Structure 1
Amino acid sequence: MNKPKIGVIGTPGKWSTEVLAERLKERTGYSLVIDMKDVELRLDTNQLMYKDVDLAQLDGLIVKKISEVYSPATEDRIHMLSHMENLGIKIFSPAQSMGKLINRLSGTLALQAGNVPMPKTRITESEEQAFASVREFGSAILKPLYSTKARGMEILTENDSDESVKATLAAYRKANSIFYIQQTVELDGRDLGMVFLGGEYLCTYARVGNKDSWNTTINSGGKYELFEPTPELIELGRQAQGCFNLSFTTVDIALTNQGPVVFEVSAFGGFKGALEGCGIDAAAAYADYVLEEVAK
């Protein structure tokens, strides 16, 4: 019996993409890393071509990273994959599930509908309303609708003058169609990444920030550590990821003096936090999961 051929959509040369492709090759002898910018959807023949390979002929596609920077163009790539999925191609995670999380607002609304606790959040196109919300919150973060790893975020504090806040809002509005304003929460210098595979809990790691940055992302000098969550905290993560039906994901959770809150659910999830923080090869676990699913 021929072993299945699974392609990995991601960023060629990047560790998380390449390690997943390598884990699949170890199990099947086949490896293909796909850059979506070079993919062509042929609607006349219902082919999805990458170079000389028709991806529709593979047994499945894993989307590790659909683009380096989120934008409305990223949603176009999701639509291409969704069309092929409708024709019977197995895609991990499902295209509709990923699509909800490319835009921060749609992801937030799904969590809100699922009664998942989040920091206070306001959405508006009005600079006047945005200014009022920032002053009401005291300290707030402006978050672009299309961004990852805290890129493009702006923090405003109660110590900022009215003029400074208004100038920041005006500059932000020129680059963004709408204000997404979230009240800051008091962290103890860390937040949590809770990893789920096929809806089942895998592990939790902490991202511990350095003293020079307001956020804990690894891009800003943070590091990973193991964290042992309570059953109640695991259930919160399960509730959050359950809003999206993802094959593999990481739920970002903060522990505050008012209880835990969810920042966001990742459309793709990360492998490095599970490896460095928990000692778990999540790429290998994901490869095994996908191979089991395509065999059904």
Structure 2
Amino acid sequence: MSTDSLTAGKSTRRKSSRAAKPDPQSPNDTSRRRKGLSERNRPLWMLIPGGLLMVIIIVVPLLLGIFMSGLDLDQYSLRKWVSAPFIGVQNFVEALTASPLLHAIWLSVSYSLLAMVVTIPLGIAGAVATQNAFKGRAVIRSIFLIPYVLPSFVVATVWRTMFQPGSVIDSMLHSVGIDPGLWLNGPQSYWTLILVQIWASWPFVYLLALSGLQSVDHEVHEASALDGALWWNKLRYVVFPYLKGPLSLAFLIGMLHHINNFTLPFVLFGVPAPSDVELLPILTYVTSFQSFRFGLSAAMAFISLILIAIPLFVYLRAVKLDDAETPGGKK
């Protein structure tokens, strides 16, 4: 066969293949492209119910609270609260200067920090103790989780009963010659709150630390064992680097939870609570539902929201910077 005939055959096949290709503007191809776009946007459509729920439950009350913080709203103007006198930032000024808000912020932050300083070592110790398999490990892990799964109302009620004068704790201390004093009133109530909070929240740190230990590669353990590393060096240089992320998250969530915790101090000490445990949520509740200063309490709630947003922003910023420094992360 000659070269001209081969060339002619190839050109004929090219023309036939071009003719066989569908037109990009054909109806079938257009409907296929529309179907592809709709499938890609389907996850966004599925977010609409949750987004509407968040707007109704979170955004709308937040905007109403900000609006109320600028009103002189009390029991006399509550009936027609929309027409209550607008006083601007006077509620914020009063909250910061003429109310015990700063003292409540100090109590909330300090008690949360002290509780987390104790719960983090306890959680790590519990996770290390139950990491390796042994007989009865499942039972021990279940026992460790009991304080975490109990509702805060139940925990506070049980501990309130135990701390009553003449109850089981006082009897135990009196048997060894110690006069405990009042647990639920006076300066000692602050340490009582910290003790109960530690007992109730350390299993959360334990869970996150245990999840971090599960991510440690077995080859790393074997290499450290072959190198003859001592148990402390193994924990410091092999185990603890894997716990940095989970423990940072546990510290942040624990701090925010403790600062916002209302049920535990409310049930444990009642209202009005002693001044040594008048935390930020308790003070906001008393200002609103006992003093009936709704505008002032809304300003306190907004200040507490800003207080909570600061460590959250710092954590998210640190996570973003850490992702940017890792290989393959976004710069």
Based on CA coordinates, which of the two structures has the bigger radius of gyration?
2
What range is the shorter-chain TM-score in? under 0.3
TM-score, normalised to structure 1's length?
A: 0.23
Q: Which has the higher strand share?
A: 1
Greater helix proportion: 2
Which TM-score applies when normalising by structure 2? 0.22
